[in-house]
Amino acid sequence: MIRVERVSFSYPTGTEALREVSIELPRGQILGILGESGSGKTTLLKCIGRFLRPRTGRITLDDRDIGNITEPEFRRAVGVVFQELYLFPHLTVLGNMTLALRKVLKREKDAAEREAKEMLGCLGIEKLGRSYPSQVSRGQAQRAAIARALLLSPGYLLLDEPTSALDVNTADDFGRWLVSLRDYTTCVIVTHDLRFAGRVATSGVVLEEGAVRFAGSLDKIIKSFGRE
Q: What was the pLDDT predicted at 84?
A: 81
Instruction: Report DSSP letters for 65-121, one per residue.
Output: EGGGS-HHHHHHHEEEE-TT----TTS-HHHHHHHHHHHHS---HHHHHHHHHHHHH
Beta strands 56-61 and 2-10: pairing type? antiparallel
Domain 2-225 in CATH 3.40.50.300: yes
Burial annotation 159-172 (CB, 10 A radius, 16+ → b, else e) = bbbbbeebeeebbb
- Spatial distance between the Cα atoms of 197 and 33, rounded to a whole number of angstroms: 9
User: Tens-of-pLDDT digits for all 228 residues of the chain?
Assistant: 999 999 999 999 888 999 999 999 998 889 999 998 889 999 999 999 999 999 999 999 999 999 999 988 898 899 999 888 788 999 999 999 998 788 877 889 899 999 999 888 888 888 999 999 999 988 888 888 888 888 888 999 999 988 887 788 888 888 888 888 888 899 999 998 888 888 899 899 999 999 999 888 888 888 776 555
Q: Kindly report whether the global pTM for this prediction surpasses the value 0.75.
A: yes
**Cβ contacts of 168 within 8 Å, gap of 6 or more:** none
Residue 225: its pLDDT value, please?
64
Domain boundaries, the chain: 2-225
DSSP-assigned letter for residue 154: -
Q: How many angstroms separate the CA atoms of 84 and 73, rounded? A: 24
Per-residue confidence (pLDDT) for residue 105, from 0 to 100: 79
**How many separate helices (H) and strands (E) can be counted in the chain?**
8, 10
Q: Return the DSSP state at 53.
A: -
